[in-house]
Structure 1
Amino acid sequence: QQLRKKNFIYCPGLVDHYTFEYDGNRYLTAEHFMMAEKARLFADEEAALKAVSAKTPGEAKRIGREVKGFNDEIWLQHRFDIVVKANLLKFGQNKDLKDYLLNTGERVLVEASPVDSIWGVGLAADDPLVELPESWQGLNLLGFALMEVREQLVR
């Protein structure tokens, strides 16, 4: 179910079943891509291959937590661009998704997750504070990444 309010849009589960391809690999989700690219960033090709072939996003995420040679400082410098790339590929290759994203216009996109304070706002979609960026408990990196993708797709 989609909840729309003024300048914000929340779409839980909307994009989960769209796959995309890159460099000869098919990715089930952006999470798969992100974890594979995380592994490649640290030259852990074994983990990258496992992430690509993971059965679920959760499995890909677990693999990503075990990347050999991981360095948090380096990851922090690259994570946003990797997620933008994943979603640019995903939304660019799936017309329904692209149209949906473009139809959000100028709205602020929010990953309304009470358990994710990095990619989300750290608040549930039904929390009244979710519409007040100054009250967010998280960074909303996924929301900002999707807004960047939207901007690139418009060009």
Structure 2
Amino acid sequence: MSGNVIQFYSTKGEYGPFSNFSAHRLFLKGKTWRTSEHYFQAQKFAGTEHEEELRMVESPMVVARMGRSRKRPLRKDWDAVKDDIMREAVMTKFTQNKELKALLLSTCDAALVEHTANDSCWADGGDGTGKNMLGIILMEVREKLKEEQESGSA
């Protein structure tokens, strides 16, 4: 990895599409989702009426708030599956949208960091102590896309 670091958080700016709140639809599980955040949050309640309720919410900010609320019964295996669900959402988002795929590949080998004090799991916690799982997953997806491109299967 080079010393190059790309930080993102807001949906604005050149790397705004790396945010799960970016207005890029994806098609998964036979349905269209407004954003990857919609898909991710709804999967906390997969197979229940709450999944569809969250899918239909207009705003990614509102769907995030709803998904984080513990007023709905969280699926029992959530901690075990959440990273893979995020991988699925991110891979789908960046393979179904050619412009996003090109943007992600254009980052070459830069470290991708979701930079905010608001989250220490998916982001860097604002001071680098967070796990940055969204950034890590974006880099994993980038590597897979590069491999597909090099093998000619993309």
Q: What TM-score comes out, normalization by structure 1 length?
A: 0.79
> Structure 1 stretches (4+) deviating beyond 3 angstroms?
none
**Equivalent position of 1:24 in the other structure:** 30
Letter of the aligned partner of 1:77 in structure 2? A
Task: Give RMSD over aligned pairs.
Answer: 1.8
The structure 2 residue matched to 1:36, chosen from 16, 38, 42, is 42
Say yes or no: does 1:118 pair with 2:121: yes
Give the alignment of 1:23-102 within 5 angstroms.
23-40=29-46, 43=47, 45-64=48-67, 65=69, 66-71=71-76, 74-102=77-105
User: Aligned partners of 1:24, 1:67: CA distance in 2, in Å?
Assistant: 23
Residue deviations 1:86-136 (CA, integer Å, cap 9, x gap):
01111111111100001111111100011111110011xxxxx6xxxxxx2
> Residues 43 and 51 of structure 2 are in contact (CA less than 8 Å); yes or no, is this contact kept in structure 1?
yes
Q: What is the number of residues matched between the two proteins?
A: 135
Distance 1:107 1:52, change over 3 A: same
Letter of the aligned partner of 1:112 in structure 2? H
Letter of the aligned partner of 1:20 in structure 2? L
**Equivalent position of 1:140 in the other structure:** 132
Deviating more after overlay: 8-17 vs 107-116: 8-17
User: Aligned partners of 1:33, 1:7: CA distance in 2, in Å?
Assistant: 30
User: Aligned partners of 2:123, 2:74: CA distance in 1, in Å?
Assistant: 26
What's the secondary structure of 1:9's corresponding residue? strand
Letter of the aligned partner of 1:32 in structure 2? H
User: Aligned partners of 1:104, 1:69: CA distance in 2, in Å?
Assistant: 35
Residue 6 of structure 1: how far off its partner (Å): 4.3
**Equivalent position of 1:154 in the other structure:** 146
Gaps of 5+ in 1: 124-128, 130-135
Deviating more after overlay: 58-67 vs 107-116: 58-67
Gaps of 5+ in 2: 148-154
> Residues 50 and 63 of structure 1 are in contact (CA less than 8 Å); yes or no, is this contact kept in structure 2?
no
Give % identity: 33
